[in-house]
Each structure stands twice: as structure tokens, then as C-alpha cells.
């Protein structure tokens, strides 16, 4: 049996972060109650804070962003309704077709550009005409960031205005919304000011062990509250996790810029090697090595204790709270070492 290689750094995702000592202390000290009864003071404080922070009427705490997105879509769509979404967006390809399987809402995917952006023209063309043969198009689903690429405020506003003109509601999957806000140097509230609902994950770049927030208008959040219960998301003394999220908001938002800097360090290092395809956006780096070297490079990195997703043809590297500049440089050095040998 081969000896397991110690992990030097884990670049697979920003979901792999561990709670910091300060966050663990906040978890232990949390004032809690029964959240199903609306009696957990820490959850209530988190929801109020997120509503204020995002400029929305209300906010609701969810165990995970997949459930938050599902409840949001189903709060806008009835069975048989249709929603428009980017063809590579998370709700469509990474959430187990929950909207269709559990809610009967059918996605209509449309093309995105290299940065994950939609066009207003494509949205308008996707809306079905009123006809007995067609589903009713009810919703536009946006995303920010899209595979790391921040979507500008003006674009979100333009797409939302187009949706309104077509009588659509708008939901935004903002799993990494704070990364987008950091990259764009704007408040999160500016990005989502015109959408009906937005889901924001607190267990990725912000480093909480679990939790996502759905924010939006009061009526949508009230429908989502009932849907959360239906989907098994009623929680009890979850103020312990809400305290972790509060700690993350206090201590881990400003430092997201460090993750972006470390991703840029990695990308710049990769670009010094001829023949590599490299793209960096916020805390993600996409590396496309020559096909004939892909498998050997993946094995070389694993042998060096550097974990990433060696997808073909393009590998994904994600920086986060538990990756420092030294570990980022170690990844660059390992890739250079490999190509110096081939």
C-alpha cells in the first residue's frame, strides 16, 4: 500500500476552508434558540444584518446555497413554468436539476460569452410568446461571479431592465457575490439592487462551515420560508452556525482581496511558461496544459501534495482563506519544475 502524500495546499475549492480559532470561539459562545419557531436570536440578527447589507426587505438563512437557489426559483415559478438561465450556470448544471425534479420548473439555457455574461438580446429572444403550446416564461436567473468572472453592475441592471420589460422576475445566484463586489470595488447592494432575490453563500470565500442567505422582497422571502420547510431546511439551534457567518462578515470580507492577489500571482507565474492556456478571474485560475502533458502534470502536482481539480482539458485552481502567498508560489514552482523536465 503506497504512503499517502501530505497535503501542502488544497486548491480544489474555497469550500475546503476550516473555521479559524476566532470563528470557533464565536460558534461556542453563540446565543441560540429554536429557529423553526423564529426564536434563535443569532439567526434573526444575521438575517436582519444581511437584509440591511444588501438593501433588501428581508433575508432568510439556509443550510446551503443549492437549497437557497431552489427555494428562490420555486418561489417565482409554478409547475410547468420556464426560467431563462446561462447554459453554464450553477443552478442548471450543478444542482441536480432540482428545480425540474422537485418543482416542475423547466430551464431554458442560453449562450454566454467567455466571461459568463448574457446579452439582453438573447434574454428577450428566449421569452416565449403567449401560446397554448409554450410554457410560460416567468423568471430570469443570473449569476455573479460566473466561474470567477465578475459581472458588472451595469450589465446586471441592463439584464434586469430587459426582464422587467418582458414581465419576468429575476433571481441572482450570488454564491461568490462578495468576490464580485471586491473585484468591482462596489457594495454588494449595488450589484443586486434591481433583482427580486439573490442567494449568497457564506461557506465559500468567507470561510463559514455552512450557510447561505436568500435576500429579496418580503413576499418572495415569505414564499421561500415555506419552501425551505418543505425542502427539509427547517433548523433548530442553528445560531451556532449563524454566529460563524457573522464572524465571517466581520473578519473575512476585506481579506478576499488577498485571495484575488494570490490567484493573480499563480496566473502570472503560469504565463511565464510557453504553451499554457491561462485565465484568471477573482479567486480562480484556469490552466489548460498541452493535452499530451495533462495527465503527467496532474500526477506531478499530486505527488507534490498540491490538490486541484485536474479537469480535462482545463484544470481549475481556487484560492481561499487557507491558501497563503507561499503556497501559491509553491504551486507555480511545481508547475515550472514539471515543464523544465519535459
**What is the domain partition of the chain in residue ranges?**
21-251, 255-341
Query: What is the fold of 21-251?
Result: 3.40.640
For 86-107, the pLDDT digits (tens) are 999 999 999 999 999 999 999 9
pLDDT confidence of residue 1: 46
For 209-231, the pLDDT digits (tens) are 999 999 999 999 999 999 999 99
Question: Average pLDDT for consecutive 10-residue bins of the chain (342 residues)?
Answer: 82 97 98 96 98 98 98 97 98 97 97 97 96 95 98 98 98 98 98 98 97 97 97 96 98 98 98 97 98 97 97 97 98 97 90
Q: Do domains 21-251 and 255-341 have the same CATH topology?
A: no
Query: What is the fold of 255-341?
Result: 3.90.1150
pLDDT confidence of residue 59: 98
pLDDT confidence of residue 5: 87
Site of grid cell 484556469: 286
pLDDT confidence of residue 176: 98
pLDDT confidence of residue 2: 54
Q: What is the 3-state secondary structure (H, E, C) of 290-310?
A: CHHHHHHHHHHHHHCCEECEC
CB neighbourhood size of 113 (10 A): 11
Q: What is the DSSP letter of 20?
A: -
pLDDT confidence of residue 106: 96
Q: How far is CA 13 from CA 3, 18, 35, 204, 317, in A?
A: 24, 12, 30, 8, 7
pTM of this structure = 0.96
Q: What is the DSSP letter of 186?
A: S
Would you give the distance in Å from CA 22 to the centre of its chain? 24
- Copy the grid coordinates of residue 54: 444588501
Amino acid at each position: 500500500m503506497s504512503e499517502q502524500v501530505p497535503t501542502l495546499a488544497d486548491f480544489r475549492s474555497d469550500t475546503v476552508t476550516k473555521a479559524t480559532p476566532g470563528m470557533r470561539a464565536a460558534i461556542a459562545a453563540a446565543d441560540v434558540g429554536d429557529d423553526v419557531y423564529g426564536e434563535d436570536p443569532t439567526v434573526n440578527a444575521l438575517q436582519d444584518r444581511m437584509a440591511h447589507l444588501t438593501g433588501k426587505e428581508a433575508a432568510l438563512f439556509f443550510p446551503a446555497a443549492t437549497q437557497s437557489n431552489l427555494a428562490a426559483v420555486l418561489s417565482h415559478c409554478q409547475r410547468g413554468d420556464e426560467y431563462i438561465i446561462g447554459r453554464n450556470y450553477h443552478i442548471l448544471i450543478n444542482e441536480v436539476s432540482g428545480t425540474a425534479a422537485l418543482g416542475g420548473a423547466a430551464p431554458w439555457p442560453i449562450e454566454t460569452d467567455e466571461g459568463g455574461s448574457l446579452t439582453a438580446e438573447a434574454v428577450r429572444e428566449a421569452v416565449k410568446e403567449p401560446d397554448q403550446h409554450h410554457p410560460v416564461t416567468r423568471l430570469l436567473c443570473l449569476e455573479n461571479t460566473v466561474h470567477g468572472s465578475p459581472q458588472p453592475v451595469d450589465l446586471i441592471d441592463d439584464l434586469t431592465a430587459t426582464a422587467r420589460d418582458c414581465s419576468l422576475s429575476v433571481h441572482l445566484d450570488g454564491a461568490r457575490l462578495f468576490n464580485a463586489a471586491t473585484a468591482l470595488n462596489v457594495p454588494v447592494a449595488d450589484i443586486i439592487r434591481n433583482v427580486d432575490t439573490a442567494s449568497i453563500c457564506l461557506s465559500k470565500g468567507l470561510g463559514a462551515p455552512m450557510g447561505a442567505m436568500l435576500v429579496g422582497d418580503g413576499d418572495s422571502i415569505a414564499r421561500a420560508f415555506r419552501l425551505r420547510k418543505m425542502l427539509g431546511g427547517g433548523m433548530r439551534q442553528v445560531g451556532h452556525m449563524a454566529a460563524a457567518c457573522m464572524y465571517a462578515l466581520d473578519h473575512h470580507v476585506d481579506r478576499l482581496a488577498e485571495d484575488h492577489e494570490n490567484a493573480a500571482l499563480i496566473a502570472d507565474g503560469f504565463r511565464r511558461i510557453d504553451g499554457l492556456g491561462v485565465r484568471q478571474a477573482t479567486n480562480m485560475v484556469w490552466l489548460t496544459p498541452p493535452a499530451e502533458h495533462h495527465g503527467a502534470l496532474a500526477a506531478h502536482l499530486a505527488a507534490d501534495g498540491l490538490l486541484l481539480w485536474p479537469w480535462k482539458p482545463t484544470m481549475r485552481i481556487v484560492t481561499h482563506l487557507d491558501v497563503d502567498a507561499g503556497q501559491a508560489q509553491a504551486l507555480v514552482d511545481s508547475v515550472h519544475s514539471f515543464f523544465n523536465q519535459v
